[in-house]
Amino acid sequence: MADRRQQLLSFLAELGLEAHGRDLAPLEEALSHTSARRPRNHERLEFLGDAVLRLAASEYLERHHGALAVGRRSALRAQLVSDRWLAELGGRCGIERVWRIGPMAAGDRAGQATVRAELTEALIGALYQMWGGPKGGLQPVLQWLTPHWQRSSAELLADPQRHNWKSALQEWSQGRGLGLPSYSCREQHPEHGHPQRFLCRAELALEPDAEPQGAEGAGASHRAAEQDAARALLEQLRPAPGC
């Protein structure tokens, strides 16, 4: 027990957070995936973390990118709170070293990006709760995430279409005087956390009376599936390099 507490304190220290004397129960809960079948799992704090993440991202953008138009700020925030970004953050921070997941999830390499995203979001909820919720819980979240957001923001502002295939597809279509792409999604795998849980089809009419051109993509969420479908369709529509 003492070894586990020290492991968690060391993990938080690597995030730049000092937590000696604080109750680590929320952190343990956040790092316990449902697949581990422990009495308390990450889902409650993932739900909380989703709201905290969006609030923290809005606060970050107000402080550091307040001159951006609201539309650009909203688009940037969508990237800074995406499942992809959370999974990458969890990987950089080594969340695998402290998480508790079941053997099936541990053996599913394809699904581990989803697990990283879920537990990283739960970790954000845990930090908020550990530091007092509305009475100061946003401070450690901002302290941890701000350097990561600064790096990601610089990359995204330099290349606005980076990882945002829906925006890139819309820009491509509008630049050619076409209409907006349409998206339709359905659930193809019922289990929560499946990396291809949702299947989405993106379509774009290239001529007024012609059948729309389409492509399919999959992802763990509606949003991820739409992005994957937009990527697939854009790759169809764009000429290959050198053509």
- 121 in catalytic set: yes
Contacts of 33 (CB under 8 A, 6+ apart): 41, 42, 99, 100, 101, 102, 105, 115, 118, 119
Per-residue pLDDT of the chain (243 residues; tens, 9 = 90+): 779 999 999 999 999 999 999 999 999 999 999 999 999 999 999 999 999 999 999 999 999 999 988 877 877 888 898 888 999 999 999 999 999 999 988 887 778 888 999 999 999 999 999 999 999 999 999 999 999 999 999 988 887 656 678 877 887 887 788 888 999 999 998 877 788 899 999 999 988 878 899 999 998 888 889 988 998 898 888 754 432
Q: In what order do the strands lie in the sheet with 182-187?
A: 182-187, 198-204, 213-219
Q: How many residues does the chain have?
A: 243
Domains along the chain?
2-158 (1.10.1520.10), 165-237 (3.30.160.20)
Amino acid at 136: G
- 228 in catalytic set: no
Reported pTM: 0.71
- Active-site entry in 46, 121, 226, 228: 121
Specify whether the backbone of 139 is left (phi greater than 0), alpha (psi in -120 to 50) or beta: alpha
Dihedral angle, C-alpha 80, 84, 86, 88, nearest 10 °: -110
Host H or E run for residue 199: strand 198-204
pLDDT at 241: 40
What distances in angstroms separate CA 184 from CA 62, 110, 209, 214, 215, one per listed residue?
33, 24, 20, 11, 11
Q: Do residues 79 and 65 touch, judged by C-beta distance below 8 A?
A: no
pLDDT at 169: 84
- Active-site entry in 28, 50, 96, 216: 50
